Each structure stands twice: as structure tokens, then as C-alpha cells.
Structure 1
Amino acid sequence: MPVNTYNPFNVFNFSNRFCFLTGQELSSTEERIQVFPQWFMTEFDLEEKPFKLLDESIVTYKDLKLPCAAAINNQFLAPLEAEVSAAFKSGYEAVKQLDELKIFQWAGRFLYGLIFNELQAGIKMQHAQGEQFSMSQSIIHKFSTLHLMLQSINQPISFDEFKPYSLFLFPVNNAENDFVYRDEINTLVFSIRMRDFGLMICLQDNGANARYHQNITERIGASTLHPIQFEEFCARVFYSAYLFNRLPEYNQLPVNDHLYLEAMPLRGTSGKPLFDEWQNKIYGQVLENFWKRWGFLLLEIIKNPEKPMSYLQDINGDFVPAAQIELER
């Protein structure tokens, strides 16, 4: 039987009456799951904390939910959540053993949950103003492709000899109970720092960001990072994801009861580099935000405009061991 995929962006169906993953009508609008997993909220006391949506409205973390058929959750999503949460609670070595595809699916479901709630809020706001909701075609393409890839959770969908993501995982000597979470839904980037590790993933770049930062990741190797080093690396990747100027395209190849996704070449017919030009001043602004905890200001960071401040590399470009960093964690 051919794979029958669902695309909510064809009709902009973001009602709580339909399962976000399959589109099937639900028996009740109460048939929903948390966007932020319960263990996640409990572990870091997030349930009642405020979460600001893009329309500036404020909700709590526990208010963010996804309509989901109970059978889909029980058979596919809950087991995935249980496996990932067990690894995350254990730490770096357990996370390292996870199937990368499952991390991609978990993080993708997480980010899509935020996208779904942002879309609901945006549609509600524009309708209240008597306006028709609209989005750029490039964003629709990006989000609908992510949704298609998420259906690999519950359907026989495979990625044909490519990874649709860049995944970075490092051991980090975090302070006890340290927790930092960040996301950027327009570029589909997600990072989390907790226990003894830091994890970052670019969900739809076909590995381009991993190749872009290969020089520094090879220098880091298996070294344990100081938290400020992981935050610096995150700043680099969040910024490069913004500079990434391609919109990946994929062919859908149905074979019997399986669907294979084939990545089209990122370069296409364009001779333009995959990433726009790196500008240290803008990168410095990003890094200032990631380094707020340590109080570094932009003027300090880009005191030398050609070589922004770094705790990952010394002036010769060599990796700086975490033990040499005399800053609080």
C-alpha cells in the first residue's frame, strides 16, 4: 500500500480538531500532547514559567500543546519520547548512543510543536484584525518539508543516502542543574545544554552547517567543553544557519509500500556560495546574547574587528582546553 502523506500547509489546517501528524479528525479537542515534554518541564521547573510567542502574547510552557491522536501518540511518539528522555537524563554517553535519526525526529517534533502554536496565534490575531493570514512561500516550503520528514516517525519514509540535518553533540562540564534551551524556528535550529552535555541540531540543511564548521569541530574532537565554549559554538552555528541561503529541495520516490526522499544538490544552478558573507560585527551581536551570563559586551567581543573574542580558539587558531578557562561555569 503506497505511503499516504499529509500536508497541513495545503489548506492551512491548524485546528485542534485534527491530529497534527496524520490529519485524522480527533474525537475530542482534549486529545493533545505537550509541546515541551512533561519530564522536561518537571526537571527544570518550567510548567508555570512564561513563554513569549512571536505575536508578543504570553503563555506558559504547559499551555503549549499539539493535537495528536491517542493511537499515534501511544504507538509512535510516546516510545520515542521515553527513549530520548531516558538518554537525556542519563547524560552524554547515553545521548551519544542514540540513533541520530531519533534525535532528529524528537527535535523536529519539538520545533514543529512551537511552529504549530505560533501559526495558531498568528492566524487568530490576523483574523481578529479582519485580515487573511499569509506567510512567505519559502517559509511554507521549509515548514511543510519538515512536517513531511516528521512522518518518518509513523510511516515507512527514509532518507536516501543523505542526512537532512547537522547534529553537534559535545561533553560539557556544566554546573549542577544547569539548563539552557534555545531555538530559532525560521532557520530550524535547536540547542540544549544540560547534565554533562550540549546538543545542537540544524534540522534542514542537509549537513551544510556541519561541513561549514568542520574545521573547529575537528579541533575540538572528543574534548569536554566549558559552558562558555559550547555557547560560543552555538552562536557560530545559529549565525551560520542565518547565512545559509539555500532552500533544500527533495524528490519523493515511492517504491512499493515505502517512500524515499532524495536530496537535490544544494548548489543547483547557482554559482553563489551556500552561505552569505560572514560579518564579524553581526556575529559579535549574536555572541553577546549567548554570553549574557558572563557579562561580555559587544565592544569587548569585537575589540579586534578581524578576530572576535573567542574561548574556543587562541590567537593561533588552536583549540583552548576547558581547564585553561578561569570563568565560572
Structure 2
Amino acid sequence: MTHTLFNPFKDLNFDEHFCFLSGALTNENMTVFPVWLMDHFKLGNERIEMMDKTKSYNYSDLKLPCSSEVKTAFEELDVKVEAAYKKGFEGMASLDQELLFQWTGRMVYGMLYYEMLYERDRLLRQGEDFEISVTLRKRFGYFHLMLQSLIEPISFVGKKPWSIAVFPLKYSADIFSYRNDAVNLMFSFGVNEFGFIACLQDNGVIGEKQKEILDKMEGHVLHPIQFEELYARFHYSDYILQYKPEYKIENQDNGIAIEVETAGKQPHFGFWDEDIYAQLLSNYWQVYGIEKEDILKFQMPPLSFLENPYTKDFINPESIDLPF
């Protein structure tokens, strides 16, 4: 990287007195999850688990050290997103995807930050040094740089570094569905009226892979079980994606330009294993009592609520007789 902006993954700097985004010295903090979102869904005292399931926090207790500048920038972003949220699908779909990247990126990075702290402290108790692989340092460093577009003159040239899909969704009132995969930089969010799925550093590759089903969905209001299946497709696609995103980063007179590198190794997906995918999907469908054995039956195509397995036609959400 040729830029000189703060990169906490260079020296694994996660000190509480340095702003998580700019690196400026600070004694202030902000919540990982937007206050308006926690208030609306009464999440403050709910628990959220870390990846290894041995540690959990109240949503409201998750906080990031930040400068006044960064805190103000995210507060202004929250105002825009909350206003769009109140307009439902149309409002959220009208938001610039860069804003959605920044808004979801705050929560994904916040959880990643806590994962780093947890791992650092765990190793410290064992008398070991805190290290992560060069590959992860580079990947997370790129993500952090892109998130700084909220406060720095950073532009994205050509192809965007993310896949973000926003779509109408039917839920019972006040239900909130949320998933955050910090290590794989993935996020999903679903409420009544809309849902969206974000792969924050795939260079749009997964969105392209799922374009056919996204096109078929257009004009329909998804049933929640379809939303879960769609996220499973994105998640498993990320798992089998054999591709390391690379970027051309240039310091220019008016800021930093980030461009997806298209030369060299092209995106490639590994073998789609229906058995592994069915296990993943069953985890998302367990609320409906659907097990892996129901998804994969002998001499039958895999169960799907998105596409008819024989004709590949999109399944009308209104035809699905399951609770929402």
C-alpha cells in the first residue's frame, strides 16, 4: 500500500486510546451498533456471542474508541440511514451503495475489533504473542482503508469492491434478523419491508455469481425463508471462492483512488458440495424445523424455496405456507 493513512493491522494496534478509524489519540468512544437501531429493536441488553461462543457481550456494551470527527461522521451517516429505513425498501434501495458499505462496515469492523481484542488477550494470558497471518493483515487492512472513505477523500474507481443486494422482504412487525461474519466480512440484515446482504470485500464476484437469482427475485417481496436461503447461497459462495482481491491504490492530488485489479488470476469458485451447503442451509432453516435430511433426499433435487428445482422458475413467495 502506498497510502499513509492509519492501518491498525500493520502493527496490530487496537489500543483503546487510539481512534479505531483514524488512529488519532482520543478518550471518546462510540457504540459498534447504531444507537437508534438498538433502541428501535430493544437490543441494548440482548447478548451477542463472539465466534468461539465462549464470550458474549450486551450489544450496548460494545464500543469503539473514536475521535470527535469520526463520531460525528457516523452520526451523520446514521441520520441518513435511519431516514431511509423509515421509508422501507424504497428508501433503503435509493441509498448509494457506498453509504451502505460504510454503515454495515462499522458493525462488521466493530465485531472484528472485538475478535482481535479477545484473541490478543487470550494469547497474552497464555504468554504468547498476538499474530495473524499476512493474508488476513492485508485483507483486513484493505477493508479498514475502504471504511476510511467516510472521513477521507477516498474514491472507488470502476468496479466496486463489494456485493450488496437490497430487496423487499416480508416479516412480522418488529422482527429483526441480523448476521455478521466479521472474519469473512459479510453482513445480512432483515426487517419487515426490506432486507439486504453485503459481502464487503469480494470485488462484486459473489453478486455476479448470484445475479441470475437476484434478477428472478425482482418485483417480488421475499418470504423470510427465501431470505435465509439467499444468504446461505452468498455465504457458501464466499466459502468456495478461490480468489484474493487485489487493488491498485494511488495517491492523487484530490485524495486516494482505489481500483479493483483485474489482471492476473481470475475469480474462481471451487466445487459446490451439496452436502456441505445443505448443512449450512439447515442451520439457517432450523427455526422452521427443516433439517439437512429434509433438504437432501435420495434421488431428489435439493430442497429450495427460491427456485423450482425442475423448471428453475422463481417460487412465488405468496405460495409458501410457512410463518413469517
Fold shared per TM-score above 0.5: yes
Q: Is the 8 A contact 1:5 1:148 kept in 2?
A: yes
Quote the Cα distance in structure 2 between the aligned partners of 1:280 and 1:268.
30
| Aligned twin of 1:22 | 22
| Aligned twin of 2:6 | 6
1:165 aligns with 2:138: no
Matched to 2:95, the amino acid is L
Quote the Cα distance in structure 1 between the aligned partners of 2:136 and 2:13.
16
Matched to 1:297, the amino acid is E
| Aligned twin of 1:268 | 264
Deviations 1:118-161 (A, max 9, x none): 11111111111101012122221111110000111101111111
Q: Is the 8 A contact 1:301 1:309 kept in 2?
A: yes
Q: Tell me the TM-score normalized by structure 2.
A: 0.95
1:238 aligns with 2:235: yes
| Aligned twin of 2:319 | 324
1:144 aligns with 2:141: yes
Quote the Cα distance in structure 1 between the aligned partners of 2:299 and 2:19.
50
Instruction: Tell me which stretches of 4 or more aligned residues in structure 1 moved more than 6 Å.
Output: none
1:256 aligns with 2:250: no
Q: Is the 8 A contact 1:65 1:117 kept in 2?
A: no
> Could you tell me how far 1:58 is from its partner in structure 2?
2.0
| Aligned twin of 1:77 | 74
Q: Give the unaligned 5+ runs of structure 1.
A: none
Quote the Cα distance in structure 2 between the aligned partners of 1:293 and 1:90.
28
Deviations 1:77-106 (A, max 9, x none): 110111112212331111011111100111
| Aligned twin of 1:94 | 91
Q: Which residue among 115, 121, 125 is the counterpart of 2:122?
A: 125
Q: Give the unaligned 5+ runs of structure 2.
A: none
Deviations 1:200-259 (A, max 9, x none): 010001110111011111111221111111111111111111111211111111121311
| Aligned twin of 1:281 | 275
What SS does structure 2 have at the residue aligned with 1:84? helix
Distance 1:32 1:305, change over 3 A: farther
Distance 1:306 1:149, change over 3 A: farther
Q: Note the aligned Cα RMSD (angstroms).
A: 1.6
Quote the Cα distance in structure 2 between the aligned partners of 1:49 and 1:172.
24
Quote the Cα distance in structure 1 between the aligned partners of 2:86 and 2:276.
35
Deviations 1:41-81 (A, max 9, x none): 1122211122222352122111111100123211x111011
Matched to 1:250, the amino acid is Y
Quote the Cα distance in structure 1 between the aligned partners of 2:223 and 2:302.
18
Identity across the alignment (%): 36
1:292 aligns with 2:286: yes
Distance 1:269 1:38, change over 3 A: closer
Q: Tell me the TM-score normalized by structure 1.
A: 0.94
Q: Is the 8 A contact 1:189 1:202 kept in 2?
A: yes
What SS does structure 1 have at the residue aligned with 2:269? coil
| Aligned twin of 2:36 | 39
Matched to 2:208, the amino acid is R
